[in-house]
Chains A and B, each alone.
Chain A
Amino acid sequence: MSAGVAPAPVDAPDAARRIEETARRLVEAGDCAPRPARDPVNEPMINNWTEALGDANPAYPGQAPPAMVQVWTMGGLHGRRAADDPLGAMSAVLDEAGFTSVVATDCAQTYARVLRPGERLAIRSRLTGVAGPKRTALGEGWFVTTVSTWTVDDEPVAEMMFRILKFRPPPPPEPPREVPRPQVNRDTAYFWEGTAVGELRIQRCGGCGALRHPPGPMCPRCGATRPGYVVASGRGEVYSFVVHHHPPLPGRRAPFVVALVELEEGVRVLGELRGVEPGAVRVGLPVEVGLDRIDDELVLPAWRPR
Chain B
Amino acid sequence: MIGLSGAASVVGIGATEFSKDSGRSELRLAAEAVRAALADAGLGPSDVDGLVTFSMDANAEIAVARELGVPRLRFFGQIGYGGGAACATVGHAAMAVATGLADVVVCYRAFNERSGHRFGRMAAGATAAPTSGGIDNGWQYPVGLATPAATVAMFAQRYLHEFGATSEDFGRVAVAMRRHAATNPRAWFHGRPITLAEHQASRWIVEPLHLLDCCQESDGAVAVVVTGTERARDLPHPPAVIAAAAQGSGADQFTMTSYYRDDLTGLPELGVVAAQLWAQAGIGPGDVQVGMLYDHFTPFVLVQLEELGFCGRGEARHLIADGGIELGGVLPVNPHGGQLGEAYIHGMNGLAEGVRQIRGSSVNQVADVRNVVVTAGTGVPTSGLVLTAG
Contacts and interface: CB of A to CB of B under 8 A. Distances in A.
B206 interface: yes
B74 interface: no
Interface in B67-107: none
A252 B130 CA distance: 25
Contacts of A180: 122, 126-128, 137, 141-142, 146
A20 B141 CA distance: 53
B155 A244 contact: no
Interface centre among B120, B205, B207 (most CB of A within 10 A): B207
A157 to B, nearest CB: 69
A240 B157 CA distance: 6
A278 to B, nearest CB: 7
A242 B129 CA distance: 26
B264 A182 contact: no
Interface string A216-259: 00001000000000000000000111111111011110011010
Nearest to B209: A242
A268 B142 contact: no
A246 B210 CA distance: 10
Contacts of A188: 135, 138
A217 to B, nearest CB: 10
B207 A278 contact: yes
A246 B203 contact: yes
Contact of A245 (B122, B139, B143, B207): B207
B134 interface: yes
A267 B204 CA distance: 29
A301 B138 contact: no
Contacts of B131: 183
Given A180-B127, A183-B137, A188-B135, A244 B144 contact: yes
Given A214-B136, A242-B157, A272 B260 contact: no
B1 to A, nearest CB: 36
Contacts of B260: 213-214, 267-268
A283 interface: yes
Given A243-B206, A245-B203, A300 B264 contact: no
B147 to A, nearest CB: 7
B158 to A, nearest CB: 4
Nearest to A251: B144
A283 B161 contact: yes
Contacts of B144: 179, 244, 249, 251-252, 256, 258, 272
A101 to B, nearest CB: 36
A87 interface: no
A272 B154 CA distance: 13
Contacts of B142: 179-182, 294, 298, 300
Interface in A137-183: 179-183
Contacts of B207: 242-243, 245, 255, 278
A272 B143 contact: yes
User: Which DSSP category, helix, strand, loop or mixed, fits chain A's interface?
Assistant: loop
A94 interface: no
Contacts of B154: 240-242, 258, 260
Contacts of A213: 260
B150 interface: yes
B183 interface: no
A256 B145 CA distance: 10
A302 interface: yes
A184 interface: yes
A242 B150 contact: yes
A61 interface: no
Nearest to B158: A240
B147 A283 contact: no
Nearest to B125: A180
A185 B127 CA distance: 12
B121 interface: yes
Nearest to B122: A249
Contacts of B134: 183
B140 interface: yes
Interface in B135-187: 135-147, 150, 153-155, 157-158, 161
A167 B206 CA distance: 44
Contacts of B259: 239-240, 260, 268, 270
Given A180-B126, A247-B121, A242 B139 contact: no
A264 interface: no
Contacts of B257: 270
Contacts of A258: 143-145, 150, 154
A241 B157 contact: yes
B204 A245 contact: yes
* Top 6 closest pairs, chain A to chain B, by CB: A182-B138, A243-B207, A240-B158, A242-B153, A180-B141, A183-B134
Given A181-B127, A181-B138, A244-B150, 16 more contacts: A182-B137, A183-B128, A183-B137, A183-B138, A185-B130, A239-B264, A242-B208, A243-B207, A245-B203, A245-B206, A247-B121, A251-B144, A256-B144, A270-B257, A271-B143, A300-B142
27 contacts: A179-B141, A179-B142, A179-B144, A180-B128, A180-B141, A181-B128, A182-B138, A182-B142, A183-B127, A183-B135, A220-B252, A240-B158, A240-B161, A242-B145, A242-B150, A242-B208, A245-B204, A245-B206, A247-B147, A249-B146, A252-B144, A256-B144, A268-B259, A270-B140, A283-B158, A300-B143, A302-B143
